[in-house]
Amino acid sequence: MSSEVERLLREVRRARPLLGRPDVASRSRAPADQAELDTWFETRSGHILDTLRQAVAGNRDVEAVAEALASVWPLVPGDVEMEWCLAIHDLAVALSRAAPLSPVLARAFRRGAEYLRARGDYRYAASHGMRELAVFRALDDHAASAAALHSLAVTYRAQGRLHRVIGCADEILENCVLRGDRSGIALGLGVLGCLMSEVDRTDAAIDYLRRAKLLSEKLSDAAGAARWQVEIGRALWSAGREATARRRLRQVLDGQADWDGYVAAHVRALLTAPCGTCLPASPWPAFGCSDR
């Protein structure tokens, strides 16, 4: 490892305590820590960029540079100039040509995507997400690919590109089919059914959801089967077939003696609602609302 990259990594590691917990957003940090972090970055942003540029240009310490990229993104203030972010983006792209199979670089792309998405730069967030996915596709790492697809779907949903969200869900399902993961297939079918309902393709939604329900029953997954039955009812309701939806929901509620209280309350609220009530949000988060 070159002394410059090693020195940069040491500086980044020393600054990490200012982040607090890694799952806490910057706006939740103590103001003093945030101010200190902003000052730390402001005084080093040029040095960070120069060090990474020299290392990438010299094709040296590829994994160390990837680690530095991954470590730097969480320290970048939300209001830094986009020019700086694009320079880091271009360096990561250049590095990917030297290390197309680096999981460390994939982590850098994920963190860059999360940062850019948080500030509303969806185009570049999607670019980072697709490059993360490309690494794990090439490695044939199905679990990591699924995680990358979930993250990419969050970006696409934020952009309002639901057809792309559907594409991510479809690829996850395809990978489950190739691996013979029957539980994953049931979940993937159900997720696609919910997405089809979201884009007003009711017949396709019910087909996917019915297949998910039947496979869940074969797998003795009563909770899964009940979930997809509820979503069938919701799809029918949203399509204006409220009476049929109520019958479906009543059946599943009667058949579930031991069920999650929040979900049961959601179904009961629908059954007792006046005719013509607008369909409330599902008790399960929509695919692409969170990459966790």
Confidence of residue 44 (pLDDT cuts 50, 70, 90): confident
Of residues 143 and 27, the one with the higher pLDDT is 143
3-state DSSP of the chain: CCHHHHHHHHHHHHHHHHHCCCCCCHHHCCHHHHHHHHHHHHHHHHHHHHHHHHHHHCCCCHHHHHHHHHHHHHHCCCCCCHHHHHHHHHHHHHHHHHCCCCHHHHHHHHHHHHHHHHCCCHHHHHHHHHHHHHHHHHHCCHHHHHHHHHHHHHHHHHHCCHHHHHHHHHHHHHHHHHHCCHHHHHHHHHHHHHHHHHCCCHHHHHHHHHHHHHHHHHCCCHHHHHHHHHHHHHHHHHCCCHHHHHHHHHHHHHHCCCCCHHHHHHHHHHHHCCCCCCCCCCCCCCCCCCCC
For residue range 57-78, what is the model confidence (pLDDT) as tens digits? 887 778 889 999 999 998 899 8
Domain ranges (residues) in the chain: 1-139, 141-292
CA 29 centroid distance within chain: 23
For 26-30, 86-90, 152-156, 215-219, which range has the lowest pLDDT when averaged over its residues? 26-30
Q: Is the pLDDT of residue 31 over 50?
A: no
How many Å apart are CA 24 and CA 286, to the nearest integer? 22
For residue range 237-260, what is the model confidence (pLDDT) as tens digits? 999 999 999 998 988 887 765 566
Of residues 37 and 248, the one with the higher pLDDT is 248
How many Å apart are CA 198 and CA 180, to the nearest integer? 27
What is the pTM assigned to this prediction?
0.88
- Say if residues 68 and 103 touch (Cβ distance below 8 Å): no
What is the model's pLDDT at position 2? 62
Confidence of residue 14 (pLDDT cuts 50, 70, 90): confident
Confidence of residue 151 (pLDDT cuts 50, 70, 90): very high
What is the model's pLDDT at position 134? 97
What is the model's pLDDT at position 136? 97
What is the model's pLDDT at position 190? 98
> Could you tell me which of 186, 187, 124 has the C-alpha nearest to residue 158?
124
> Could you tell me which of 104, 103, 15 has the C-alpha nearest to residue 68?
104
Burial of 58 (0-12, 13-18, 19+ CB in 10 A): exposed
- Say if residues 26 and 78 touch (Cβ distance below 8 Å): yes
User: Is CATH 1.25.40.10 the right assignment for the domain spanning 141-292?
Assistant: yes
What is the model's pLDDT at position 32? 53
What is the model's pLDDT at position 291? 57
Q: Is the pLDDT of residue 17 over 90?
A: no
| Residue 147: Cβ within 10 Å count | 19
Of residues 271 and 211, the one with the higher pLDDT is 211
Burial of 190 (0-12, 13-18, 19+ CB in 10 A): buried
Q: Is the pLDDT of residue 16 over 60?
A: yes
For residue range 263-286, what is the model confidence (pLDDT) as tens digits? 888 888 889 889 888 888 888 999
